[in-house]
Amino acid sequence: MSIRALGANDAEAYRALMLEAYGAYPQAFTSSVSERAAMPLSWWEKRLESPLDRLLGAYVDGELAGIVGLAFEPREKARHKVTLFGMYVNAAYQHKGLGRRLVEAALDEARRHPRLKVIQLTVTAGNDAAFALYRRCGFIQYGLEPLAVRVGVDYFDKIYMWRELTAH
C-alpha cells in the first residue's frame, strides 16, 4: 500500500472512487452522484491540478482504494487554515487502518506548509466510525450544524471538528 498525491493522470480512478463514495454514503457528502457524474473528466483533472486543493490517494495493488483531500484557504486572513475533505475508503479496505493512514498523510502534508496552524473538517452526525477515527487523530468537536445535508426527505447534521497542526 502506498499513499501519494494525485495528479491529472489519476482523474479517471479518482472520479470512479468518488462516485462510489457518493453512492455508498450519500449523507456524508454534500455532492451527489448525479451532480458529479455529469461533470466531464476535465473537471476532475482540474480539481486534481488546483493549487487550492491537494488530493492524496491510497493505492493497494495498483488500485485506488482510498482518498482524502485538503482545501487550502485562499483569503489572506484565513490562510492559516486548511480543510480536510472527501475522505473515503473503499469497502474492501475499511477496518484495516487505511483511513487512519490517509488522515495521518493529510496531517503530514498540511504540516509541510509552515503558514498552516489549524486543520478543520466536518463529519456527519451518526457516522460513529469516522468520528472516532478523527478523535484518535487528535481532532476535537467544536460545533454542530443542524440539517446540514438533505438526502431525499431526510436531513443530517454535520459535526465540526478541528485540531492544531503541531509538529509531529
How many domains, the chain?
1
pLDDT at 69 over 80: yes
> How is residue 9 annotated by DSSP?
G
Mean pLDDT of 112-131: 96
Residues 6+ apart with CB under 8 A from 11: 41, 44, 45, 48
pLDDT at 27 over 80: yes
pLDDT at 167 over 90: no
pLDDT band at 123 (very low <50, low <70, confident <90, very high): very high
> Which DSSP helix (H) or strand (E) runs through 100?
helix 98-111
Mean pLDDT of 54-75: 96
Look-up of cell digits 480536510: 84
Mean pLDDT of 65-69: 98
The Cα 168–Cα 166 span in angstroms is: 6
Residue 160 belongs to a domain with what CATH number? 3.40.630.30
* pLDDT tens digits for range 28-55: 999 999 999 999 999 999 999 999 999 9
pLDDT at position 168 is 58
Q: Within a 10 A sphere around the Cβ of 162, how many other Cβ atoms?
A: 18
Average confidence score pLDDT of the chain: 96
Domain hosting residue 86, numbered range: 2-164
